[in-house]
């Protein structure tokens, strides 16, 4: 792949700087599959929020614990995996992630048979742990797979395949998890009187099993294929097999936490991930409250968010040849703040359209924040990357807060105020990084 670039946000470099390291194609294709798979899994959970809400008769807050379980897994495993990768490398991280991910998906079968929400949340926690391992390995691996000056473009390019998996996840969930059967209140009362309602709910719950078991089999097969491949040698991709004691890890962690750039990236990623997960996980309940669309109809419209995200990622990555990523991200965050406020104050068709539009402008945020947060970390890249991946725990905290506000106010629209506050932080981060980059450039020019 001989892609080149002609501009960057913070520095000048050769117009022929390659996007990827030579000889990286085969492994890159395999890593792209990882981006696809965790995208598929993460957005299947948006379907599960509605399906579990119905199957287990949950409140909005309880239903959003689906996202909490997944993203607590991210928080729990990101740093341990980064420490393990410093000893054994990226490949071990990817293989461990695929193994844990696969076990979590297969666990849906006994959890559904036993009809236990807690066991379902445990399975989702394992999936989150596996996804955290994969992201902790794959994101910095891609960021280091070529010249530093093209890291934002390279990671945005790789991340562009993540929403393709997310779209697949939503479509699978819509057609294979949602049954299309939505009972009117009087029919529910009648079935309860006949003693058939519990069987109906259990049948709805069992619909989650085939998609997750199939996904688990694919994940484990991919792990078997990856195990036979060698990662490219040379540069910073290969990790030396050296002994590293806990004190060294802790000292690096302490040093990173003292860096304002890392702390700012962690906070921004926390808020962005909370905004993204909160927006999508509440999208179907929002539509069910303010429109007459069916569950399957809402699920199909949810794919519009992923299509918008995909289009935004490819188009925005191309525009980064001429527009600084930080400037673009600041504008996108402000636009999304306005769109979320429309969804809050104009619930219904206008609000739904505004929510879908936010996905286009989300597109560059995760990979850009991640790449900016890793710049200049050198040997601390893996630990720094794990801290940024851990910050996706925002996806565990923001959705339940949204659900809590929705329950207290009786309005999913008002719950989106929580999401709006997240975009304020993202915009502030982008402006902060851009301002510091400009000051650094002026200082360098003054010295020269």
The answer as to whether 238 is a domain residue is: no
Determine, yes or no, domain membership for 415. Answer: yes
pLDDT, residue 20, reads 64
CATH number at residue 100: 1.20.1250.20
Q: CA 351, 354, 360 angle in degrees (round to 5)?
A: 155
Is position 1 within any domain?
no
| Mean pLDDT over each residue of the chain, to the nearest integer | 84
Domain that holds residue 145: 25-229+246-447
- CA separation for the pair 95, 224 (Å, rounded): 8
* Three-state SS at 4: strand
- 8: in domain: no
**Separation of CA 261 from chain center:** 21
- Rounded to whole angstroms, how far apart are CA atoms 427 and 184? 44
Tell me the average pLDDT across 400-424. 95
216-225, 314-323, 376-385: the lowest-pLDDT one: 376-385
The reply to whether 11 falls in a domain is no
The number of folded domains in the chain is 1
Lowest-pLDDT range, 222-226, 285-289, 329-333, 356-360?
222-226
For 244-258, the pLDDT digits (tens) are 444 467 788 788 888
What local confidence, expressed as pLDDT, does residue 14 receive?
Answer: 42
Q: How much of the chain, in percent, has pLDDT values that exceed 90?
A: 43
Higher pLDDT, 26 or 364: 364
Question: Distance between CA atoms of 283 and 333, rounded to whole angstroms?
Answer: 19
**Residue 199, both tokens:** 């069987």
Give me 435's structure tokens: 């301002």
In a domain? residue 285: yes
Residue 339 covered by a domain: yes
3 state DSSP class of 18: strand
Residue 240 lies in a domain: no
Report pLDDT for 425.
96
**What is the full DSSP assignment across 366-388?**
HHHHHHHHHTT-GGGHHHHHHHH
> CB pairs under 8 A, 24+ apart, for 15-20?
17/147, 17/149, 17/150, 18/146, 18/147, 18/150, 19/146, 19/150, 19/153, 19/154, 19/157, 20/145, 20/146, 20/154
Contact 422, 272 (CB under 8 A): yes
pLDDT at 12 over 50: no
More confident residue, 245 or 403: 403
pTM: 0.74
Q: What does the alpha-carbon distance between residue 315 and residue 416 come to, in Å, rounded to a whole number? A: 27
């Amino acid at each position: 792949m001989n892609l080149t670039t002609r501009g960057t946000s913070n520095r000048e470099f050769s117009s022929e700087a390659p996007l990827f390291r030579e000889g990286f194609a085969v492994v890159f294709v395999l890593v792209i599959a990882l981006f696809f798979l965790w995208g598929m899994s993460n957005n299947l959970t948006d379907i599960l929020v509605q399906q579990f809400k119905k199957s287990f008769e949950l409140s909005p807050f309880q239903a959003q614990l689906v996202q909490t379980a997944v993203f607590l897994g991210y928080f729990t495993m990101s740093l341990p995996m980064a420490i393990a990768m410093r000893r054994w490398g990226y490949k071990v991280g990817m293989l461990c992630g695929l193994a844990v991910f696969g076990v979590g998906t297969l666990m849906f079968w006994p959890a559904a048979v036993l009809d236990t929400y807690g066991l379902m949340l445990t399975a989702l926690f394992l999936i989150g742990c596996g996804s955290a391992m994969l992201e902790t390995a794959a994101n910095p691996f891609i960021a280091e797979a070529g010249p530093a000056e093209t890291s934002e473009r390279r990671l945005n390019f790789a991340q562009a395949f993540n929403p393709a998996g997310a779209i697949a996840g939503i479509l699978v969930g819509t057609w294979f998890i949602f049954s299309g059967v939505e009972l009117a209140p009087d029919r529910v009362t009648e079935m309860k009187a006949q003693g058939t309602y519990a069987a109906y709910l259990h049948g709805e719950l069992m619909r989650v099993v085939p998609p997750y078991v199939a996904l688990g089999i694919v994940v484990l097969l991919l792990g078997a294929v990856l195990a036979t491949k060698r990662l490219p040698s040379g540069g910073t991709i290969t990790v030396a097999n050296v002994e590293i004691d806990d004190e060294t890890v802790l000292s690096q962690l302490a040093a990173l936490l003292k860096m304002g750039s890392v702390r700012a990236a962690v906070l921004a990623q926390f808020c962005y991930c909370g905004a993204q997960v909160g927006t999508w996980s509440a999208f179907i309940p929002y539509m069910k409250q303010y429109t007459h669309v069916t569950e399957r109809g809402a699920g199909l419209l949810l794919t519009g968010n992923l299509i918008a995200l995909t289009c935004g990622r490819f188009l925005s990555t191309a525009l980064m040849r001429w527009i600084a990523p930080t400037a673009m991200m600041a504008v996108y965050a402000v636009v999304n703040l306005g769109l979320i406020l429309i969804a809050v104050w104009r619930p219904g068709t206008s609000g739904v359209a505004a929510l879908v539009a936010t996905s286009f402008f989300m597109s560059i945020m995760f990979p850009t924040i991640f790449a900016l947060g890793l710049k200049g970390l050198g040997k601390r890249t893996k630990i720094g990357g794990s801290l940024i991946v851990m910050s996706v725990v925002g996806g565990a905290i923001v959705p339940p807060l949204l659900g809590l506000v929705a329950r207290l106010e009786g309005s999913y629209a008002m719950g989106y105020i929580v999401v709006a506050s997240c975009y304020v932080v993202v915009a502030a981060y982008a402006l902060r990084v851009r301002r510091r980059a400009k000051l650094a450039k002026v200082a360098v020019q003054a010295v020269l």
